[in-house]
Amino acid sequence: MEPREKKRGDRFDGYWLRDEAPALGQFMAYLMPNRADNEAHITVDIDTRAMDAFLEKKNAGLEADKYTYFHIFLAAMVKCFVLRPRMNRFIAGNRLYMRDHISVSFVVKKRFEDKSEEGLAYKKYGEEDTIDTLHASIMEEIHQCRREDVLDNSTDMMTKLLKLPRWVLKIIVDILFSLDRKGKVPYDLIKADPNYSSIFLTNLGSIGLGAGYHHLNNWGTNSFFGVIGKKHLAPEWHEDGSCTVRPVISLGLTLDERIGDGFYYAGTVRLLEKLLANPELLELPFSTPVEY
């Protein structure tokens, strides 16, 4: 999005939509102030055949850091946010804001073991990025998160706070929530907090689970949570009444219904499905228009 001068009432991470948002949207922020009480959830099945062909082409000759479904899904979501910017809104302190950047976050398991810790990854992308620049930065972030001697910023801060007496920690958390509503939480505390990202994505398929519902949080500004499920076979009905099977991945999407309307969300899902059915479109800059 085009940068603009910050004014009184704007936040460090977004612009207050004073008169740019419909009255209904502004009033909803007061009528239903909690993000977790305004969740809309849908699940869509994505045919993987086009993605499978795309991955085979992209990974030809690669020995390591191969492209995966995760990179395709994430790149498609970022492109949706570039082309449909209202998806990048959030509500905080009863006000509707437009985020001034596009950020993504996800959890990285250091090792696939029960006792292994998790790291939190947080990255920002722009209109000129492509799936290739996204892939390179994601792999770099994953390698960093999986280092045993490295804690991400959010995990490191939580570890320190948990050493305080419970009553002190409760007071600190209450203060942080008050600052959060005003956009005044110290930046060093939240610069890598996934709850402040545009897109929070989890890949349950990587651990053998299906897609499902995941809640939003009242802490932070994240208004869009995606869940990637495992690949499986699903029936495909044809016009002549016959039925075959096709490989699909289920995708669960939870979003804050206050930042847009059903028509806008439906258009975003159509665009997402178009990109996943034609992943070569993700090799162009994310700002490249797409008919859908």
Summarize pLDDT for 103-132 with one digit per residue, the tens: 999 988 666 555 556 678 899 999 999 999
Q: Is the pLDDT of residue 148 over 80?
A: no
What is the pLDDT, as a whole number, of residue 287? 98
In order of 17, 87, 247, the CA distances from 229 in angstroms are 35, 22, 12
Q: Helix, strand, or coil here: 175? A: helix
Would you tell me how many other CB atoms lie within 10 Å of the CB of residue 287? 12
Summarize pLDDT for 34-52 with one digit per residue, the tens: 999 999 999 999 999 999 9
Is beta strand 118-125 parallel, antiparallel or unpaired with respect to 102-109? Answer: antiparallel
What is the rounded average pLDDT for all residues in the chain?
90
What is the pLDDT, as a whole number, of residue 155? 64
Q: How far apart are CA 202 and CA 232, in angstroms?
A: 18
Of the pLDDT bands very low, low, confident and very high (cuts 50, 70, 90), residue 280 is very high
3-state helix, strand, coil in the chain (%, to 5): 40, 25, 35
Is there a contact between 208 and 199 (Cβ–Cβ < 8 Å)?
Answer: no
Which string of b and e fits 89-100 if b means at least 16 CB within 10 Å? bbbbbebbbbbb
Give one DSSP letter per residue of 199-240, joined into a string: EEEEEGGGGT---------SSSS--EEEEEEEEEEEEEE-TT
Is there a contact between 48 and 231 (Cβ–Cβ < 8 Å)?
Answer: yes
Percentage of the residues of the chain whose pLDDT score is greater than 70: 92
Fill in the amino acid letter for 65.
D
Summarize pLDDT for 61-110 with one digit per residue, the tens: 999 999 999 999 999 999 999 999 999 999 999 999 999 999 999 988 66
Q: How far apart are CA 197 and CA 102, in angstroms?
A: 8
Q: Compute the Cα dihedral for 62, 143, 228, 209 and give only its sign.
A: positive
Residue with tokens 């076979």: 233
Which string of b and e fits 147-159 if b means at least 16 CB within 10 Å? eeeebbebbebee
Mind listing the domains of the chain with CATH numbers?
14-282 (3.30.559.10)
